[in-house]
Amino acid sequence: MRGMLSSLAALAAVAALSGPPGQASAQDSAPSLAISCGALGIELRLCKEGVEAWSAETGVEVEVVSTPNSSTERLALYQQLLAARAGDIDLFQVDVVWPGILADHFIDLAAYVPQAVEGHFATLIANNTVDGRLVALPWWTDAGVLYYRKDLLEKHGFAAPATWQEMTETAARIQAAERAAGNSDIWGYVFQGKAYEGLTCNALEWIDSFGGGTIVADDGSITVNNPRAEAALELAASWIGEIAPEGVLNYSEEEARGVFQSGNAVFMRNWPYAWALANSEESAIKGKAGVAALPKGGPEGSTTGTLGGWNLAVSKYSEHPELAAELAAFLTSKAEQKRRAIVSSYNPTFPALYADDEVLAANPFFGQLFETFSNAVARPSGATGDQYNRVSAEFWGAVHNVLSGQEPAEVALADLERGLMRISRRGRW
C-alpha cells in the first residue's frame, strides 16, 4: 500500500476506514520507512535530498509523503492517522506548537538517539519535552521577519520602518507614488491573513509588539482582552483594502510570497525560507529585497517575531522505531541543518551555526537578527497544552472577524476572552 499512496490525505482516509492495525500486520522482509514532509517552496526537495543521502548510507528505502501547506490542515490529518494508530507514517514533521497536543503518539527520542539531543537551543529541547519525554528533535526554527524592497524604499526616500505606524505610512506613500507612475499592480503590504495558524502567528506579533501580551500568559491566565491588543488589531484592520489587498484575508505564506516575489508588494511579513527564494533565479526581485526585524507597536513597543519551526517525531505505531529514530537524528544533525540553511535559508536549531561563515554568507540577516531568532515570542502552547489548537482557532477566528470588518476589535476581544474562559474552565488548562 505504501508505494501507491503518496498523499497524506489519502493515507488518513484509509486509516480512518480500516481502524487500528491488527497484530498480524505483515513485517516487511527488508524494512522501509515513510516520512511526512512539508512542501512549501523547495521544502519537499530538500527533505528528499536529505532522506536520499541517508538511504544511500544505510540501504533503507524511505518514502517521502508530502503534506498540505497549511499547518492547520496538516494537524487535522495527523490527528486522524494517529487516532487510528496507523503505522503508515514512521516519521512526522511536527510544528513547534504541537508537542503538547500529539505527545502521546510519539516515542521518547532521548532514549533512542541520546547523542542527537546535544547542541540545540535549550529552549527548543525544553519545548519538545513533554512529561520528561523528548517527543521530537528540532529540525529548523523560525521567526516572523519583515521583508522590504530596498530599491523602492531608496527610490522614494524611506528607511526600513521602526514602527507599524511608520510601516503603514511608508507603504501607503510608496504604493500611491508607484501607482501614479503606472505600476498599477503594486500593494504596500502582504502578510498571512487567512483564518488558520499563520494568522495566529501574525496577530501575536502585532499584539506583542504593542506590549499587549501573548493571548494566554505562562501561568494560564487569559490576558488577550486589553487596550494594547485592541489598538494593535485596529491598526491591522485599517490595512485591508488600503495598503493590503482584500485577498490577503485568504493568504497563507505562499500566496504572500507569490505577490512579493513577483514584484507586487513593498513590504511582506514572512518566515526566513522566503529569503532564498526571493533571491533565486526565478525571482523578479532577485537582489532587491532586504530583511529587518518586525516593527514595534509605537515608540514604546518592542520588536518581535513569533517563534515558529518544525521538528521530527517518531510514531509509537512505527514498526521500526530504532531505524526511524536514526533517520530523525541524521536529518536534524548539524551537517544537514547547515546544508539546508545554505541552500534555502532554513534557520538552524544549533546556535553554533549562527557563527558559521558559509551560513552567514548565504543569509546575512541570520547574524543581524540573531536576537530576534533567539528571543522570538512563543505562542501559548505550553500554558494551554492539548487545548492549544482550540485556543488558536478561537484567536484567529476573532482576528479574522476584525480584519474583515465584521466586528470592532473591542467586541471581538471581549467575545474571545469569554470563549477562552469556556475552553479552559476559567483559566485552568
Interface with ligand GLC (CB under 6 A)? 71, 95-96, 142, 197-198, 201, 253, 271, 308-310
Instruction: Give 68 or 263: the residue with its C-beta nearer to ligand GLC.
Output: 68
CB of 224 to ligand GLC, least distance (A): 18
Grid cell for residue 77: 490529518
The Cα–Cα gap between 368 and 274 comes to 17
* CA pair distance 281, 291, nearest whole angstrom: 19
**Which residue matches cell numbers 551555526?**
353
Cross-strand bridge partners of residue 100: none
**Residue 195 CB, nearest distance to ligand GLC (Å)?**
12
CA–CA dist 373, 357 (Å, integer)? 18
In the complex with ligand GLC, which residue's Cβ is closer, 310 or 429? 310
Q: How far is the CB of 321 from ligand GLC (least distance, A)?
A: 25
Residue 309 CB, nearest distance to ligand GLC (Å)? 5
Beta carbon nearer to ligand GLC, 197 or 208? 197
Beta-strand relationship, 137-143 and 32-37? unpaired
Closest to ligand GLC by CB, 142 vs 407, is 142
> 400 near 199, Cβ under 8 Å?
yes
Give the angle 345-35-25 at the CA atoms, nearest 5°.
Answer: 175
CB 317 within 8 A of CB 102: no
- Tell me whether residue 88 or residue 253 sits nearer to ligand GLC (CB atom): 253
Closest CB 94 distance from ligand GLC, rounded Å: 10
**Cβ of residue 311: shortest distance to ligand GLC, in angstroms?**
10
Q: Considering the complex, what minimum distance in angstroms separates the CB of residue 140 from ligand GLC?
A: 8
Cα–Cα separations (whole angstroms), residue 59 to 16, 56, 103, 246, 266: 32, 6, 30, 51, 48
When the beta carbons of 20 and 258 are compared against ligand GLC, the nearer one is 258
Burial 378-413 (b: 16+ CB within 10 A, else e): bbbbbbbbebbbbbbbbbbbbbbbbbeeebebeebb
Q: How far is the CB of 257 from ligand GLC (least distance, A)?
A: 12
Question: What span, in angstroms and rounded, lies between the C-alpha atoms of 275 and 261?
Answer: 10
All three cell numbers of 324, joined, read: 526511524
Q: Give the integer Cα–Cα distance in Å for 259 and 263.
A: 7
- Structural contact between residues 379 and 201, judged by C-beta atoms closer than 8 angstroms: yes
CB 350 within 8 A of CB 341: no
Between residues 44 and 172, which has the closer beta carbon with respect to ligand GLC?
44
What's the min distance (Å) between Cβ of 36 and ligand GLC? 14
Provide the edge-to-edge strand list for the sheet that holds 32-37.
Answer: 61-66, 32-37, 91-95, 307-314, 137-143
Q: What are phi and psi of 370, to 5 degrees?
A: -55, -40
Between 50 and 298, whose beta carbon lies closer to ligand GLC?
50
71 or 372: CB nearest ligand GLC: 71
Residue nearest to ligand GLC (CB): 308
| Nearest-approach distance from CB 427 to ligand GLC, in angstroms | 24
* Minimum CB distance to ligand GLC smaller for 50 or for 308: 308
Which residue is it, cell 519537499? 44
